[in-house]
Amino acid sequence: LFEPQSTNLITQSELFSDSSWYKGGSTATSTIEISPSGEANASKLVESISNSSHGISYSYSSTSSMAFSVFAKLKERTFIQIQSGGVASTDCIFNLSNGTIVSTESNATASIEDYGNGWYRCSIYYNSSGGNNPIIRLYNGSDSYQGDGTSGVLIWGAQFEDNISYATSYIPTSGSSVTRNQDLCTNGGSLASINSTEGVLYAEIAALANDGTTRRLAISDGSTSNRVFIGYDVNTNSVQFVVSSGGSVVVNQTFTISDTTQFSKLAIKYKLNDCSFWIDGVKVGTDTTALMPTGLNSLDFTQGNATIPFFGKTKAVAVWKEALSDAELTSLTTI
């Protein structure tokens, strides 16, 4: 997992009984239920007996886009609603019995991820200024209803991130905000495996979000003048294959796939006047007029010059120093 630097702005990400969390028509109590951390430290969000909304919120104001996430598990209630208190039309409703998104309003993007043992990470993103006070509510056919004083859901691990378009991996806090540094990969291979004359660059990867962010990994001479890269383009669900030689882009082909957030096996074969591009077992394109780069000596999770980093999930990255056959590339990239 390669992620950018990010900060969890919530100072008590697991202690929902803390005064930093405002309770409206609800209580948040510690339990001995097992959380996704494997410890008995989950909390229960319990509705009051009032005929009102039942939830908790965290006070924070922002002037940029925000991502908010929380782990939740059903108890007596099946649904939760998450929204921003400062941006209209951000209500998102999640079903904790089957891990689905019931509805998402126009100013938000929602996602839900299964963490096992009945736990789901529920996330919303809103690309609007003025986001503040993320809210978690119980939902029982409405966001306002007659509570019984005992029903609720389990919650754990809340995260609020500024100026980012998706929830990054969980950053626990206990009394102050916490920043996780950008992930880096060093000493990932041998120069003996890199050949400038011909070869294959292969990656089994997935994007963290389909948000128009360019993400690249490359073999290069340490610059953008000579390189071979695979990446995600700014266009929706786009995969890009590029070869540069002597400062000129000699190959540049882009293909659309169904979902960049799901793992794909991608490969580019490069050889003088013989390049081909492979996605999940299919040769999707060729180029028979390409010159080759020189001086390739580095494999990086960037575009070749330490910029435009690849933030995403990686199962495998490999380099061959000879051009593989079509049969070999079909076998290599077949899901």
Distance CA 311, CA 302 (A): 9
Question: Residue 131 has what pLDDT?
Answer: 60
Question: Residue 186 has what pLDDT?
Answer: 73
Token pair in block for residue 293: 């780069």
Question: Residue 11 has what pLDDT?
Answer: 96
Amino acid occupying residue 108: A
pLDDT digits (tens, 9 = 90+) for 120-135: 999 999 876 656 689 9
Token pair in block for residue 25: 């028509």
Which positions of the chain have pLDDT values less than 70?
63, 128-132, 188-190
Question: Residue 66 has what pLDDT?
Answer: 86
Question: Residue 189 has what pLDDT?
Answer: 64
pLDDT digits (tens, 9 = 90+) for 239-257: 999 999 999 999 999 999 9
Helix (H, G, I), strand (E, B) or coil at 327: helix
Question: Residue 192 has what pLDDT?
Answer: 75
Amino acid occupying residue 226: N
Residues 6+ apart with CB under 8 A from 11: 20, 173, 175, 176, 177
